[in-house]
Structure 1
Amino acid sequence: MSLARRALAGAALSAAVVMTVAACSASVDPDTSTQEQSTVASATAFLDAYVEDGRVVRTDQGGDTVSEGQAYGMLLAVAADDPSRFDSIWDWTTANLQRDDLLLSWQWKDGGVVDEQPASDADLDAARALVLAGDAFDRDDLREQGVALGTAVLDEMTAETSLGRILLPGPWATASPHAYNPSYASPAAYDVLERASGDPRWAEVAEGSRAATAALLDANALPTDWATIGADGSVAIAGSAGGGGEPGYGYDAARTAIRFAESCDPDDRALAARISSALPKDEVLAAELDSGAGPRTTDQHPVAYAARAAASAADGRSDDARADLRRMAETAASTPTYYGSAWNALTAAMLSGDVLGGCPALADGADGAAAQGTTAPGIGAAAGFQDPVAPASANTAPPVHISIPAIGVDTDLVGLDRGADGWIQAPEDYDAVGWYEKGVLPGEVGPAVIAGHVDSPTGPAVFIDLPRLAPGDTVAIERADGSTADFVVTGLQTVEKDSFPTESIYAPTPTPQLRLVTCAGAWDPASGHYVDNLVVTAVAR
């Protein structure tokens, strides 16, 4: 599959190139586990999109930064096994957000802190990330800083009630009745920090959070964004941190099911399962619900689908969970936002593996999902996001035709194999487009690979205009049974062949996707290769 620089468009290549052009193709690594690949891919995608010099930027919310985002970035750097990025995020956080009491100021904008109040969910996630990073990267300093930050959370942002010790949203909530945010409770974080510190108060907070959540679900079948808890154990749902407004299930409350579903304690998972029975069963789920589960908006958001997936997984309904994880990923791809992208990546890590210290509710082989996939040499087990998402029934009709209107491609597809060198072979015909037959069928869950030449000895080839594609352009794949799989382009990436990021590009995905691949960059006559690959990513419409 030959790819050249755009500057070579229309120029004839020398006869020497003719014999070597097929050698330009994407390298792959069949040894990386599907669970690791999928976690690394989604985490890396968030870090690439939202981290600038260690600052997690809310690009869709005015370009500010909040402690929550820094903590999400740290957790995802651990999930991506990226110590350099972890250090840059934590260094920026300590330089710009950390207070004298070790807690983190909540909001930074235009060069300085604009809200110095800490938020306990952010500080708890950051402490958890520091301890996990200490273990993952063999860094005692990070572990010690995580324990110290966690101790500050216990000292400043917990309170004793008749239900047990509870996590307060901030130091401002120490008076009874306490403002309480159910989604701030994180059983997996409590466990990580208890094991690291030996502080028995973490077990107390775990018990108190479980009791508080159960009491709130007794009061209202859905968790609400805010509630109040009295020192005497009395609970009430609330519309805001100050108690005013109409109570609802929104972007905060949705996280409750995710955090309790990743717990290793079956009593916590049972609470997540209770939430499942209260959520609407409609395929399209509103981003926000009122306290009675009625829609408050027609908007959709990844965190809403993530929450329902987590609740379904805790309830043992894995097929429903997989369906919602597909909707989660599709929504995140179609409408990218900082918060949606963060929870798309975090949920994948929390439900499918133990890299963040929890117990995955949807693990490889737990319910036969892994057996439904097929291993594609060179792509990894690419037939599905086997951790939580594999198709219940696959369409086995092979693809026969591809149409890309934006660049005038409308041609039949040929099958491609992998060569003895481990690379996907290029089509023999310069005007042919091929699909990797041992990988994912286009339209089924996972990244299907489509390849074509960018030029030929006599001029441009079929994929010469691939670099002109832009997000929003469409790709249609017709299959042998007459059905069509439609995709929309989400991005383009030029990567060096010598350091091809297999894990992030060919990792299993929770939705049907395409990878359109061709060559790019300069021609290296010494090796007989172009130095780069162009990879276009598209997701199912």
Structure 2
Amino acid sequence: MKTKSLLLFILLTALTVAASASQYRNVFVEMGYQPAEVDAKLKEVFNDVFHGPNKVYFEVGDSMGYISDIKNHDARTEGMSYGMMIAVQMDEKDIFDRLWRWSKHYMQHQEGQREGYFAWSCKTDGTHQAEGAASDGELYFITALLFASNRWGNDTGIDYKAEAQHILDCIQPRAFKDERPRPQRPGMPPSSGMAYLIDPETHLITFTPDGFGQRFTDPSYHIPAFYEVWAKYADDDRSDY
């Protein structure tokens, strides 16, 4: 997947997409670039990722779509959730909804011990290549859904806030007292069960929410601003945490 392109695009949108509203800064304009030049660059990168000859976004039927890791011929929660974040910031509701429907239909576990989590890698036909989750996917899914809730509301076909709340209910129990096994500490035998997305003892996001990855984290997963969004907009009784 064009991970660098996706990350570049997220950076560009973060710095420019809301600049028309007076309360947001456009850092590139502050550096001396003309607004039209910035907008053109933003559209160029967006079109390269979603529409151009080297695109990584592909539509499926009338209502779904996926972002492919072209090199490995699969779709990953990293790319799907990054793509949703890009789509909501660019006000591309159709792309956002298509990516979410594909993610929910093919990737998200709807029952069992992994309920609410997402299989991090699927073939482009939706077949799972791995059942476990990679925590950055859930991190971006939740935040993108809350952004969509605020931008488009929850009565246009998808209840975005309810979807975000469902993930949170599954991956981060309110009181940490449900039936899920508590995370094993370093040096202890890994648990076969699922753990929390955020470790309740260290308050750090897990590398993977399972017996192996719960024992460490990944610096690229630490995005405190996302937690501020959850606290403010998730309405899930976890804002203090």
| Deviations 1:220-267 (CA, angstroms, capped at 9, x unpaired) | xxxxxxxxxxxxxxxxxxxxxxxxxxxxxxxxxxxxxxxxxxxxxxxx
1:41–1:80 Cα contact (<8 Å) kept = no
Cα distance change of structure 1 residues 201 and 143 upon mapping to structure 2, 3 Å threshold: closer
Structure 1: gaps of 5 or more residues: 1-31, 205-541
Question: Counterpart in 2 of 1:369?
Answer: none
1:97 counterpart letter in structure 2: M
Q: 1:157 aligns with which of 191, 197, 200?
A: 197
SS at match of 1:89: helix
- The separation in 1 between residues aligned to 2:171 and 2:147, in whole angstroms, is 17
1:136 counterpart letter in structure 2: R
- The separation in 1 between residues aligned to 2:102 and 2:123, in whole angstroms, is 13
SS at match of 2:128: strand
Question: Counterpart in 2 of 1:271?
Answer: none
- TM-score relative to the length of structure 2: 0.62
1:73 aligns with 2:110: no
- TM-score relative to the length of structure 1: 0.29
Question: Counterpart in 2 of 1:170?
Answer: 208
- The separation in 2 between residues aligned to 1:139 and 1:192, in whole angstroms, is 17
- The separation in 1 between residues aligned to 2:91 and 2:226, in whole angstroms, is 19
Question: Counterpart in 2 of 1:64?
Answer: 74
Query: 1:110 deviation in Å?
Result: 5.5
- The separation in 2 between residues aligned to 1:52 and 1:179, in whole angstroms, is 34
Structure (1/2) with the larger strand percentage: 1
1:44–1:77 Cα contact (<8 Å) kept = no
SS at match of 1:180: coil
Cα distance change of structure 1 residues 44 and 80 upon mapping to structure 2, 3 Å threshold: farther
- The separation in 2 between residues aligned to 1:89 and 1:169, in whole angstroms, is 23
Question: Counterpart in 2 of 1:185?
Answer: 222
Query: What are the residue-to-residue correspondences of 1:257-276 with 2, within 5 Å?
Result: none
- The separation in 1 between residues aligned to 2:48 and 2:232, in whole angstroms, is 30
Question: Counterpart in 2 of 1:462?
Answer: none
| Deviations 1:66-88 (CA, angstroms, capped at 9, x unpaired) | 11110011001112210011111
Higher relative contact order (CA 8 A, sep 6+): 1
1:55–1:89 Cα contact (<8 Å) kept = yes
Query: 1:44 deviation in Å?
Result: 4.2
Structure (1/2) with the larger helix percentage: 2
Query: What are the residue-to-residue correspondences of 1:413-492 with 2, within 5 Å?
Result: none
2:165–2:236 Cα contact (<8 Å) kept = no
1:193 counterpart letter in structure 2: W
Q: 1:94 aligns with which of 84, 94, 104?
A: 104
Query: What are the residue-to-residue correspondences of 1:325-404 with 2, within 5 Å?
Result: none
Structure 2: gaps of 5 or more residues: 1-18, 21-34, 60-64, 174-195
Q: Give the % identical residues.
A: 22
Q: 2:142 aligns with which of 127, 131, 134?
A: 127
Aligned-residue CA RMSD (Å): 2.6
| Deviations 1:301-325 (CA, angstroms, capped at 9, x unpaired) | xxxxxxxxxxxxxxxxxxxxxxxxx
| Deviations 1:83-121 (CA, angstroms, capped at 9, x unpaired) | 011111111111110102121110012630010101111
1:42 counterpart letter in structure 2: V
Rg larger in 1 or in 2? 1
- The separation in 2 between residues aligned to 1:186 and 1:73, in whole angstroms, is 17
- The separation in 1 between residues aligned to 2:42 and 2:134, in whole angstroms, is 27
SS at match of 2:204: strand
